[in-house]
Amino acid sequence: MKTPVKMPKSVMLAGRKFRLGLSPKESFYGGTMGQYIPMEGRIALANEMPPEQLKSTCLHEIFHDLNNQSTADLSETHVNCLAALMFAVIRDNPALMAWIQDRE
Ligand SMILES: [Zn+2]
């Protein structure tokens, strides 16, 4: 059986390093499962989530950063939709992801 890949400790977003961490759900406001905290350079995810939801929520928080770094002015609904669609593209296309990541 394949060993699960561990969540990375950080993620690079437009040249800036953000720490990725797990926190108890009680520490999040408004019943959210993730928080994008640009002032602290980190993304916090609720540690009670199953792995697939954890990954999806991480991508959601990343989209909040992409929104912040652009002039897109996306709503929470837009972030939800785009993150879910991108999650599916990434999951459904491992060959595409390998090709994009290959630095010739
Ligand atoms: Zn959000």
DSSP state of 51: H
Distance 53 CA to ligand 1 centre (A): 14
Distance 2 CA to ligand 1 centre (A): 31
Query: From the CB of residue 44, how many other CB atoms can be counted at a distance below 10 Å?
Result: 21
**pLDDT exceeds cutoff 90 at 36:** yes
Within a domain: residue 46? Answer: yes
As beta bridge partners, residue 20 has 43
Which structural domain, as residue segments, surrounds residue 20? 10-100
Distance CA 74, CA 36 (A): 15
Distance 102 CA to ligand 1 centre (A): 30
**pLDDT exceeds cutoff 90 at 17:** yes
**pLDDT exceeds cutoff 90 at 27:** no
Q: Are 4 and 51 in contact (CB under 8 A)?
A: yes
Distance 59 CA to ligand 1 centre (A): 10
Distance 100 CA to ligand 1 centre (A): 26
Residue 30 pLDDT: 83
Q: Are 10 and 20 in contact (CB under 8 A)?
A: yes
Within a domain: residue 5? Answer: no
**pLDDT exceeds cutoff 90 at 16:** yes
How many domains are there within the chain?
1
